Amino acid sequence: MKNTINNNMILQKENKILRAKTEEIKKINSQEIKLLIKKMVDAMFAEPDGIGIAAPQIGESKKIFLVAEDVLHPERFDKENKRTRNFLVFINPIMKKKSSKKTEDIEGCLSVRGLYGSVPRPEKITVEYFDESGNKKSRGASGLFSRVIQHEMDHLEGILFIDKAKKIQKITPPHL
């Protein structure tokens, strides 16, 4: 699917890159990674419903994903329908904890356009990762933020949400 806003291509589910495990990033603070982050930011924010993106979705088999900071304030986003271009970078993430309690919610994906399904995921998680400056971080997440992180971490393992989803439906969003 071609993106009319910035001509980035978000790979679709048929692409083999989306089914491969990604490579760990060795030089986190490199020019190459800074450029990759910029491409990912442009691709994610060009999509009206882009709240997370993993490197494989733009053809790079690397352990990195971004999450739009809007997911930290879904109540504001829903009421005001405003987006910022603020984002968090997760490089070489590792899931450290996940709650035994799971919740089910509807998910979609920029690489699986038109399909939506109910996916059970742990309600709360703790993830360790490096930020774009190479600082090691640990962060807890719950709600939508937790769901987006888990969805993007699946991408890094070659897993698409449709592999876990129940009741998959084909829906064409009005903005497409």
Tens-of-pLDDT digits for all 176 residues of the chain? 333 333 458 999 999 999 999 999 999 999 999 999 999 999 999 998 899 999 999 999 999 999 999 888 766 655 556 677 889 999 999 999 999 999 999 999 999 999 999 999 999 999 999 999 999 999 999 999 999 999 999 999 999 999 999 999 998 765 54
Would you give the DSSP letter of residue 60? -
Looking at the domain assignment, is residue 3 inside a domain? no
Neighbouring-strand partners of residue 142:
124
Looking at the domain assignment, is residue 8 inside a domain? no
Six-digit token pair at 174? 């009005």
Looking at the domain assignment, is residue 141 inside a domain? yes
The number of distinct structural domains making up the chain is 1
Looking at the domain assignment, is residue 75 inside a domain? yes
Contact 68, 44 (CB under 8 A): yes
Instruction: Say whether pTM exceeds 0.75.
Output: yes
Cite the active site residues.
152
Q: What is the CATH number of the domain that holds 24?
A: 3.90.45.10
- Cα–Cα distance measured from residue 21 to residue 159, given in angstroms and rounded to the nearest whole number: 9
Looking at the domain assignment, is residue 142 inside a domain? yes
Six-digit token pair at 154? 């699946």
Which of 14, 93, 92 minimizes the C-alpha distance to 57? 14
